[in-house]
Amino acid sequence: MVQPPVRDDGLQIEEHRTFQESFWRAERVSWVIFGLTLIAALLGVTGSGGMLERQIITVADGSVDVPRFSRWEASDVLQATLAGGGSERRLTLSPEFFRTFQVEDIDPPPIAAEGGADGLVYRFRAASAQPLVLTLHLRAQYPGIVSFRASVNDGPAQALRTIVWP
């Protein structure tokens, strides 16, 4: 059996120093990548909470709160606040929205849903002059980047984008 030579520090081991140093470098790069991934997850980039997870567009007749990041086949929520006044209020979502998202439930339920030139128009009736808060329970059917438009009470449509992670 061939024994390794005795080193200057008195140890009698055989080591591959260049391999060990390159392994340490790769390990440190991995730590940085894992740290950045953890920070991104805490900020909400993974779609499960955090200050970057949601986006809100505000228009004259209300607002729409949409996930900026979502997960494929996971439940999510779109909330819309329709300004008070008038007996009928409308939320319009473009066809691109429905190519990726399935609407599982709407609370409160609309009195009608009809196709229009700008997409699907949900009509709601409210007796009070208070703002109407809607909750649409969604499920993403496909991963990818979804660009769509939303409008409130036939106002100008606002562009939105959601990234659906696989």
64 and 122 in contact (C-beta within 8 Å)?
Answer: no
d(CA 77, CA 54): 10
Q: The whole model's pTM is what?
A: 0.76
Q: Which amino acid is at 116?
A: G
User: What pLDDT, on the 0 to 100 scale, is given for residue 149?
Assistant: 93
User: What pLDDT, on the 0 to 100 scale, is given for residue 101?
Assistant: 93
Name residues of the chain where pLDDT drops below 70. Answer: 86
User: What pLDDT, on the 0 to 100 scale, is given for residue 11?
Assistant: 80
